[in-house]
């Protein structure tokens, strides 16, 4: 693997860097660093800029609106957006259901949904987990019964990220209660404005309204909204999760996170020296950097395989495990640097507030980030389940 950028790739990097500098929405600059909760319009403002440029879905095939970039160009793009502290694009349409639709969907589904995902006209959420079916997703109990040209859906989903903003959701439902668990599931696209859908907020330890419960009470869904064959939705589910786990690795954002931790530790005083001079803390940072470098090479190998026509397979579980653990360790290091200033954290400073965080400006964000990142080893398939997948599908145990 040649890790040196060619002159053409360097020119591409400069193009991306210049575009971000000139076009990233002004109202978003620094908003994440200040700890402000991002709105739906915040996410969509950057999405629309990239959509207009044609850069919003780099991994999609060109015929469906992708960029046609090489693996290296996609890597450079993710590096540059992380370097500029751009907010992340919501993955549910672009990297989850979009690839499912263009891979398994009908021509009519592709023609209708894909352009609306690219433009940001439709905001998507994911209806997978249930109160009794998280890591053991195939045991889900939300059911869909056929009634002519519709399904009638009843059940409950949980941990549904950003469902409070969603126009559409993709749901796993049980359509054959008598089949083996994985064989009786279908993949439905559901209009979140349908009668019978109720979204209830779950407020996290960090104080955010990010996840929700979704209740479905006799929700009518056209059969034409089913992707792929009836009772074969598990095929779509596995395909989607493999793409999700690659994205969860978050290598570029973690590299930027390490830079920020080192900047903090170089200025925060521990005794009479900078915290980064503390050999125990410095060792933690160094070990994290080494693990992240190894993960980066693994991600590059996965992307190279994808470029050669091999979709993400069980190896994506390695990316998910290590990437999520690294994200958690990053927030632990930041919280350790904040010390007691990380305890009395605040959220939601807005215009007109006359109170300010205690301690350094960055410190009040460390505890919410730490609490929020506890989820990374659970969502997208818990890391315990990922180890089982690796043992079975990669190591053949």
Alpha helices in 140-199 (DSSP H): none
**Upper half-sphere CA count for residue 152 (Cβ side, 13 Å):** 6
Using only C-alpha atoms, the chain has a radius of gyration, in whole angstroms, of 22
Lookup result for tokens 């978003």: 28
Structure tokens at 335: 């919280």
Contact 104, 239 (CB under 8 A): yes
Alpha helices in the chain (DSSP H): 7-23, 40-53, 71-83, 91, 98-104, 107-119, 233-248, 251-267, 279-307, 316-338, 366-372, 383-389
Tell whether the torsion through CA atoms of 43, 46, 51 and 56 is positive or negative: negative
Classified as helix, coil or strand, 342 is helix
Contact 208, 199 (CB under 8 A): no
Q: Which of left, alpha, beta for 137 (phi over 0: left; psi -120 to 50: alpha)?
A: alpha
Tell whether the torsion through CA atoms of 18, 10, 327 and 202 is positive or negative: positive
Q: Which residues are catalytic?
A: 244
Strands 209-222 and 150-157: antiparallel
Which of 293, 186, 279, 195 has its CA nearest to residue 233? 186
- State how far Cα 152 lies from the chain centre: 30
Cβ neighbours, 10 Å, residue 52: 11
First-to-final CA distance of the chain: 29
Lookup result for tokens 């690795």: 249
Which of 384, 385, 388, 381 has its CA nearest to residue 129? 381
Cα separation of 386 and 363, whole Å?
33
Strands 124-127 and 168-174: parallel
């Amino acid at each position: 693997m040649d890790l040196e950028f060619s002159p053409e790739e360097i020119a591409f990097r400069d193009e991306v860097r210049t575009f971000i500098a000139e076009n990233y929405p002004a109202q978003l600059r620094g908003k994440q660093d200040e700890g402000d909760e991002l709105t739906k319009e915040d996410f969509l403002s950057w999405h629309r800029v990239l959509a207009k440029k044609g850069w919003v879905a780099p991994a999609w095939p060109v015929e469906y609106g992708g960029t046609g970039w090489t693996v290296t160009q996609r890597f450079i793009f993710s590096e540059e957006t992380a370097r500029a502290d751009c907010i992340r694009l919501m993955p549910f349409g672009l990297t989850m259901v979009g690839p499912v639709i263009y891979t398994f969907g009908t021509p009519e589904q592709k023609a209708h949904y894909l352009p609306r995902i690219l433009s940001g006209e439709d905001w998507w959420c994911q209806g997978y987990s249930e109160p009794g079916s998280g890591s053991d997703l195939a045991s889900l109990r939300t059911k869909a019964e056929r009634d002519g040209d519709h399904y009638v859906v009843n059940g409950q989903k949980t941990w549904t990220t950003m469902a409070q903003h969603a126009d559409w959701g993709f749901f796993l439902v049980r359509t054959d209660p008598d089949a083996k668990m994985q064989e009786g599931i279908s993949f439905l696209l559901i209009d979140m404005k349908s009668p019978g859908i109720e979204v209830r907020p779950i407020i996290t330890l960090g104080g955010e309204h990010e996840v929700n419960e979704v209740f479905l009470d006799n929700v009518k869904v056209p059969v034409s909204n089913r992707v792929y064959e009836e009772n074969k939705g598990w095929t779509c589910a596995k395909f989607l999760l493999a793409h999700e786990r690659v994205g969860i690795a978050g290598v570029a954002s973690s590299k930027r996170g390490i830079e920020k931790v080192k900047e903090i530790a170089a200025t925060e005083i521990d005794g009479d020296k900078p915290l980064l001079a503390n050999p125990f803390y410095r060792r933690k940072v160094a070990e994290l950097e080494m693990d992240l470098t190894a993960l980066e090479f693994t991600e590059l190998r996965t992307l190279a395989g994808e470029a050669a026509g091999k979709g993400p397979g069980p190896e994506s579980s390695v990316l998910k495990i290590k990437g999520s653990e690294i994200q958690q360790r990053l927030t632990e290091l930041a919280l350790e640097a904040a010390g007691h200033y990380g305890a009395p954290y605040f959220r939601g400073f807005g215009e007109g507030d006359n109170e300010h965080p205690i301690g350094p400006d960055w410190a009040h964000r460390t505890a919410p980030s730490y609490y929020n990142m506890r989820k990374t080893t659970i969502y997208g398939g818990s890391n315990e389940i990922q180890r089982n997948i690796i043992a079975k599908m990669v190591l053949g145990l």
